[in-house]
Structure 1
Amino acid sequence: MKQILLLFVVTITSTMSFDMFSNYRRTDLGNSIDIASMKLLKEIYDKSSEKNVVTSPLGVLTLLSLYASVSEGKNREEIMRLLGANDYKDKQNVEYWLSDSYERLSEHYSKMDPGFLSLANKVLVSDRFTLNDTFAIKAGGYNTEVSSIDFSERKGAADAINTWSSQKSIGKINNPVSESDIDPATVIALLNVIFFQGHWFVPFNASETKEKEFNVDRSTVVKVPMMHLEQSLYYLEDNNMGVRMIELPYQETKFRMIIVLPNDIDGLPEVLRKASEKGLHESIFEMYPVEEVHLDLPKFEIKSKINFKSILQKVGVSSIFKNESTGIVKESSVVVSEVLQEAFVKIDEEGATAGAFTGIFAVQPSALIEPPPHIIFKVDRPFMFVILHDDIVIFTGTYSGNNMK
């Protein structure tokens, strides 16, 4: 009898490189996460009605990688293709690639100072089932705690997940699932939290935040609280992408936010399309320092609830929702039914706070340029933002003009 699998991700960030312009490295893993993240963001944006969205692709990709580590056939191949693995049809190569990428990344982040970055994984397995030995070993490689739970007690199961989420997110994501999200036939839930907290390397002066015009589109202008900063920053004009980009570093080493501003007021959809094809890293790693940037940036807050099932199907991961995997628990195969995420981001004068909760549910199968002395960078139209650690995309989203609280 095929049963139910749940996967949950929580990701939180609140924004502080003691060196303002760190030497960032570029890796194959970072490149693959970049492209996958941009693909997911484009589809999320396309489905959104208000066009203010935020997501943490890393949480979703981490859980998918763990699921793929014991999957076979098309289930594994589709996930590995999204993750950017080349030899995704060879199980031995898949295992090596995963252990050298997402498993190592989980281990690396779990050892960072929890005062500014925390990554935690947890497996909740139904008290009616036993983890497959291989999967248990793989979960251990991801620094995952394992607990038993009675999913037939739907309220108790939801409360347990929400309590864990709240604890790991320091109270930022308190109720990501409800009783109705829990199917009593659930076999397992995989949980993930990423929490990042800090401040801008150079904070904005709150006294300089003023209501200014923001172009929602060519015919709609609204007033938003606009922060102001004059500072040396990394910058790029990318005519191929049709954007200008600015980098805002945090005080924590190698954390930064990239603001991607389309040249055209209505240019964000086309920018997202191009980013989904080649990612942003090529442009990010061409940025150069400018002596003085006069930056106006909206102060905003966004919360998104995302059903990733249709999003993943759009980017080529559909088999896991139809075909069972047998390597998760000993007594049954499982099929993924839903992938959910709740995410938020808050940008203000001190820094950025962001978080996300993701759940995957499985059910029974039925060039060099001489920089000018200063640059005016006015973020007064829909734009994209990316929060990275080194070259790893942790959060990404879009802001289109209306504050979401």
Structure 2
Amino acid sequence: MSRHPLATNTNFRLLFGGSTVSMFGDQFTLVALPWLVLKLTGDPGALGLVLATMAVPRAVFMLIGGAVVDRFSARAVLLLARTANAVMVAALAAMVLTGAISMPWVYVLALGIGLATAFAYPASSALLPAVIEPQQLAQANGAMMGMRQLSMFIGPALAGVVIGTGAHAPTAGSALADARGLGWAFAIDAASFGASLLSLALIRVPAAAKRAPSQHGVFGQVLGGLRGIAADPPLRAFMLYAAVVSLFVGGPTQVGLPVLADMRLDHGATSLGIVMAASGGGMLLGGLFSGAVAKLVRGHLGAMILSFDACIGLALVGLAGVHSTVLAAVLLGLTGLLGGIVQITLVSWIQRRVPREMLGRTMSVLMFTFLGLGPLSAAGVGALLKVISLPALFVAAGLTLTAIALGCLTSPALRGIRAQDAVPQVA
């Protein structure tokens, strides 16, 4: 029996293996960092500021990172960015375990992690098409996204357990109750970066996939990427929609979920890990069902995204009355399921639609909307929680998302986006 073409591609196996280890490691920091801030300060406002401290350099340099990837080697950029991340997460682990951690250091390291991530995300997205054939993109994205969703299902739960083992057991020289578990969580993530770096060092990008040097500077390339998106009406409309959703919903959920686990759920950090795992599990199932659902809706990706986002908003409203970890997990699992259904077809659609020489910049804009703008609103949300209740925050965020999605259903540019439209339309 012949092996699957992707399984015979050494570069893809290395990229997939290293990325898998790194994805699982990332989940430990995603749970541990907000928990660390809440344990150090007890202040949702401080959590919002830390998330914003990561988001500002990520947002500012995300577009530049995409241009750098298009100008140089995606593999080299990814190696440098992940090396920087490994060093900073390892430093975080050491400071927590030795009791040297303090909020100024958290801000400094969060700033550095955000800056490195701004280059890592577009580099990772651009490297995949460089090591496989174009007709294998959908399958490769399915494998990568499926593993990411699996990591989001298993990783947070494991992180919650690891952090929980150190609960109320301060390390020597530290008054932080969960220091031991938090330190272990950061150390696991640092080790995962090491495995990823080893796999990247072994990857060899085919000569045909290397880009010719550009005659324009980095900022000129950034502007060129933005002009390319602006000239593609469906792509432009989706980017604007994603930006609005991230601003008004991303911040409230990123701050609200850790605060919910700390103040209202019954198992602290373990509850946070469980609800994040439920979201990841829902995304995993959504990814598995995405092909069948796309056929069911006959490829009407735009209408599907907007309809599902409207339902996700109502699920967020439901979080306002939650006091049970199980019920919170059910609601987050639902939001993950609906969100996961659209992701594989959406990213593959963009990767097929955009010319290879523009892909790094285009993916950096997409990641800017998802990963840069949302946390920027987190600082404001943290301050807002000092004057409004947590339930009011979830109600406002959920109803805003539902209203935006339903309103955008009236836009032909968004509603008419189809999953199979791989050829750019003329503006």
With the length of structure 1 as denominator, give the TM-score of the two structures.
0.25
**Highest RCO, 1 vs 2 (Cα 8 Å, sep ≥ 6):** 1
Structure number having the greater strand percentage: 1
Structure number having the greater helix percentage: 2
With the length of structure 2 as denominator, give the TM-score of the two structures.
0.24
